Structure 1
Amino acid sequence: MRPAPSVAPPRVAVLADDLTSAGDGAAPFRRAGRPARVLLSGSPLAGHGQEDGVLAVDLGSRLLDEAGAAARTREAARALSGAELLLKTVDSTLRGHVAAEIRAAREGSGRRAVVIAPAFPAEGRTTRHGVQYVRGVRVDESEFARDPAHPVRTADLARLLPEAVPVDPGRPEELTELLPDGGLFVCSAATDADLDRIVAAAPDHRAVLWVGSPGLAAALARHHARPAADGEAAGELPPAVRPLVAVGSANPATRRQLALLAAEPGAVSAVAADPLRAVDTPVRILHTPHERRADPAELTRLLAASVAALADRDPFDGLVLTGGETAEAVLRALGAHGIDLHDEPEPGIARGTLAGPEDLPRVPVVIKAGGFGDERTLLRLHALLTGARADGYASR
């Protein structure tokens, strides 16, 4: 028996283990015509969003131990079990408490059938025969296996979830036959078309707990697209004159992106707020030290405090945040309870405005997961905030 939800359900609910995953999971639905809000962990679930919209909740569970992560996921799944579409996001490289959170979400939601499809083809993350790859390399043999905070231990979903049944993407009818009896189903996928077939194979989406990365979210959003109502179309966000880029991710891809942005003419890059105050340049960057000898959580806290100090004394009018823990810490330090999504400028990247108390400036913000993008991603996102040509940096 499905438990009664404890809050009025949105049309689409997204449960995520960190902030970037929440934004990634909600952004495709926003692009498909639905209003969307992303909430920080610990924020009350009631009173947010619209009945026909999307509520994506950052559970903050990646920072917890396994038992704590499962408990928080179970509680949120129970509260939002009445949503028409319920998506539990997982990292497309399988970082975090993947198995424990899937089982907890299933228990909390009361949904007997669980479809697990972590592929994100747009970022080179694919699932073949139940094994997760990033650009052709098993994730447990990639740079994500050396992640300092959340190293990947296995790429094999059969090891993570031995009770799950594997499903071949070339036989979607198999999933159609299996779902009514319930169970966990791991779906391999190498393309967006594979994910579309998986989504189309489910006869009743309300009866399924969907588990995946932005690739699955996009497939579900395509299937549940909603034309925007009159007056609902998103306008352009104002261009930023003095934006700030805050980089807390230690992922090598993000550090390469940081190096290119920091090399721009006039760019000022620092690990504390003071060197950036009263600097007359549109390229201001705060980042954690390249040599991470201190506790990563403490470095993130210090970075967030530096952003808040700049907001008080030398305000910025746009933000780029990279790394889920960094984004959450910064938003909390600024007094925000989340973001209202505007669009998804690139796969896996969310853009919106700060959501919070009435006196909180609605600053445009772009959030990117640490491992996403090519070497010029930060250059493009900075250009997007300032209103420069989107291809301005790439043409250099």
Structure 2
Amino acid sequence: MILEEELLADFPADADVPAHAVADSVSASKRILVVLDDDPTGTQSVADLPVLTAWEPGDFRWAFGLDPRPAAVYVLTNTRSLDPDEAAERNRAVVTNALAAARESGLELAFTSRSDSTLRGHFPLETDTIAATLEAQNGLGADGVVIVPAFPDAGRVTIGGTHYTRSGSGGLTPVADTEFARDATFGYRSSSLAEYIEEKSGGRFPANSVIVLDLAILRAGTPAESAIAIADALEPAADRTPIAVDIVTENDFRRLALGLSEAERRGKKFIYRVGPPFVRGRIGQEVRAPLSSAEALGPDAPRRGGLVVVGSHVGQTTRQLDALLRRLPSARVIELDVERVLAGDESHIAETAERVAASLATGDVVVHTSRTLVTADSAAGSLAIARRVSAALVDVVRQTLAAVRPRFVVAKGGITSSDVAAHGLGIRHAMVRGPMLPGIVSLWEPMDGPALGIPYVVFAGNVGDDASLADVVEKLSYQKESIND
């Protein structure tokens, strides 16, 4: 076992950096951070920011025109569910349309590619595409690509340039030794971020070309002193130089934000490839406490069942599903048979939706895919299977919503959450209201479409402990409310 405290002994101690130190500089600027989120779980660390599931110029005009103007806007690209060509085209469209809307409003934009804290996703394809599109649109590319996958709230930290997951009792596991590195589509071999970058770039960026901002630099003296140290370390960055960053605490994110601002003041241009909490630190947002039941549901929540949709197949999700059913044994469980879906059995989808709608009248319903993971011989084939299964879940949700409005909807899994939001619930614009658990699991308020007024919870497949899904559903369920009464 690798002990976190032993690794940290080689670096300066953590020290407090107030959020307003970052926020003050952000509020003085007209720049908005546009976050291309490759699935909707990137919003789980922020609060009171807009999220778009469509990216026409008019969608950006809606977000940029909010009062107060948001420091960041999330765009749900769902590119982790797409093949590389489709992902690249979607990134190009988002950047092009965001820039068009910004020019109309006289705004400056910066771009963030938000992806998985366990290193899965289209990298460096997405940051390359953003940089190339910026060069084509305004002649300005990127000096560096700042890579910050850390997500301490979910147990992912980067120390000494190596990315880890916390395994309990202060232990750390190199991320390449976890189940996430064996992903059928986005697997990898390296836990060192510099070596991961070399691996994923096919050697285009050798490990020794990566700038590593370790904790010795981030924690170099006062926040002002560390900002200068960070900017000095970034001075050599040119032509999309990869920059790997150590992060263990929220203060590290804030020091990084101050350093990036100083480097940008000196003229550097960056694109970011990050995990969820980077945006919170970059814009100087305070850590939002978990929403209460009353905050999440509002005063007029109907006393009927909520809908929990589970598509993720990682072991963590299966354990959470088991714990949920033990905690709320009255919940109705309905399985969507993947084999029948892949065989093209449309009647199975319709029958499943009818059962879900009928069951919501009497209590909470959990609809999940069969737990045997079906994959293909290639990464592209496995991705295609995942998309077909997700489409079937979306059909179930859409048909259910046409018959009855659930008290709430919880979607478990990244691709599942995205597809349910955009296609199952018909959400185009939403506001992220905050987390349901400390630092993880976000609640959206739909601002339009058939789901207007239905709290929507986005729950990543790879976050939380075994009890987390049960904790969230219990907070929202009227059945548990009745028991507590």
C-alpha separation in 2, matches of 1:258 and 1:363: 22
Alpha-carbon contact 2:213-2:233 (below 8 Å) kept:
no
**Residue 123 and residue 72 in structure 1: after superposition, are their counterparts in 2 closer, same or farther (change >3 A)?**
same
2:233 pairs, out of 178, 185, 189, with: 178
Point out which structure has higher relative CO (alpha carbons under 8 A, 6+ apart): 2
- Matched residue, 1:193: 251
- Matched residue, 2:90: 72
1:352 pairs, out of 438, 444, 465, with: 444
1:46 pairs, out of 28, 38, 60, with: 60
Alpha-carbon contact 1:130-1:156 (below 8 Å) kept:
yes
**Residue 211 and residue 389 in structure 1: after superposition, are their counterparts in 2 closer, same or farther (change >3 A)?**
farther
1:1-396 equivalences in 2 (<5 Å): 11-21=32-42, 23-24=43-44, 27-28=45-46, 30=47, 35-40=48-53, 45-51=59-65, 52-53=69-70, 54-80=72-98, 83-109=108-134, 110-135=141-166, 136-159=172-195, 160-161=197-198, 162=205, 163-172=209-218, 173=226, 174-183=229-238, 184-202=242-260, 203=262, 207-221=269-283, 223=284, 237-238=298-299, 239=301, 241=303, 242-263=305-326, 264-271=328-335, 272-279=352-359, 280-293=361-374, 295-331=385-421, 332-346=423-437, 347-357=439-449, 360-386=451-477
**Residue 83 and residue 255 in structure 1: after superposition, are their counterparts in 2 closer, same or farther (change >3 A)?**
farther
Alpha-carbon contact 2:296-2:443 (below 8 Å) kept:
no
Please report how far the alpha carbon of residue 148 of structure 1 lies from its aligned counterpart in structure 2 after TM superposition. 4.2
| 5+ long unaligned stretches in structure 2 | 1-29, 100-106, 135-140, 167-171, 199-204, 219-225, 288-294, 336-351, 376-384
Q: Normalization by structure 1: what TM-score?
A: 0.82
1:185-242 Cα shifts (integer Å, max 9, x gaps): 2112223332222222221558433331123223223x2569xxxxxxx896344532
Question: What is the SS of the residue equivalent to 1:144?
Answer: helix
1:310-339 Cα shifts (integer Å, max 9, x gaps): 112233121001112111222213322243
Please report how far the alpha carbon of residue 268 of structure 1 lies from its aligned counterpart in structure 2 after TM superposition. 0.8
1:261-290 Cα shifts (integer Å, max 9, x gaps): 123231111123343333354321111111
**Residue 370 and residue 360 in structure 1: after superposition, are their counterparts in 2 closer, same or farther (change >3 A)?**
closer
Question: What is the SS of the residue equivalent to 1:261?
Answer: helix
C-alpha separation in 2, matches of 1:219 and 1:387: 35
Alpha-carbon contact 2:391-2:419 (below 8 Å) kept:
yes
**Residue 318 and residue 139 in structure 1: after superposition, are their counterparts in 2 closer, same or farther (change >3 A)?**
same
Please report how far the alpha carbon of residue 249 of structure 1 lies from its aligned counterpart in structure 2 after TM superposition. 0.6
**Residue 198 and residue 157 in structure 1: after superposition, are their counterparts in 2 closer, same or farther (change >3 A)?**
same
C-alpha separation in 1, matches of 2:189 and 2:121: 10
Alpha-carbon contact 1:364-1:385 (below 8 Å) kept:
no
Question: What is the SS of the residue equivalent to 1:145?
Answer: helix
C-alpha separation in 2, matches of 1:240 and 1:121: 36
| 5+ long unaligned stretches in structure 1 | 1-8, 227-233
C-alpha separation in 2, matches of 1:92 and 1:361: 30
Aligned residue pairs total: 368
Larger helix share, 1 or 2: 2
C-alpha separation in 2, matches of 1:111 and 1:79: 19
Q: Give the CA RMSD over aligned residues.
A: 3.0
1:165-195 Cα shifts (integer Å, max 9, x gaps): 1122211344211335544321122233322
Question: What is the SS of the residue equivalent to 2:60?
Answer: coil
Letter in 1 for 2:248: A
Question: What is the SS of the residue equivalent to 2:466?
Answer: coil
Q: Normalization by structure 2: what TM-score?
A: 0.68
Question: What is the SS of the residue equivalent to 2:430?
Answer: strand
C-alpha separation in 2, matches of 1:243 and 1:36: 25
Of all paired residues, the percent bearing the same amino acid is: 24
Alpha-carbon contact 1:117-1:211 (below 8 Å) kept:
yes
Please report how far the alpha carbon of residue 378 of structure 1 lies from its aligned counterpart in structure 2 after TM superposition. 1.2
Letter in 2 for 1:261: L
1:34-72 Cα shifts (integer Å, max 9, x gaps): x42212255554332244113201222212233442343
Question: What is the SS of the residue equivalent to 1:170?
Answer: helix
Alpha-carbon contact 1:195-1:216 (below 8 Å) kept:
yes
Alpha-carbon contact 2:88-2:129 (below 8 Å) kept:
yes
Alpha-carbon contact 1:288-1:300 (below 8 Å) kept:
no
C-alpha separation in 2, matches of 1:140 and 1:187: 17
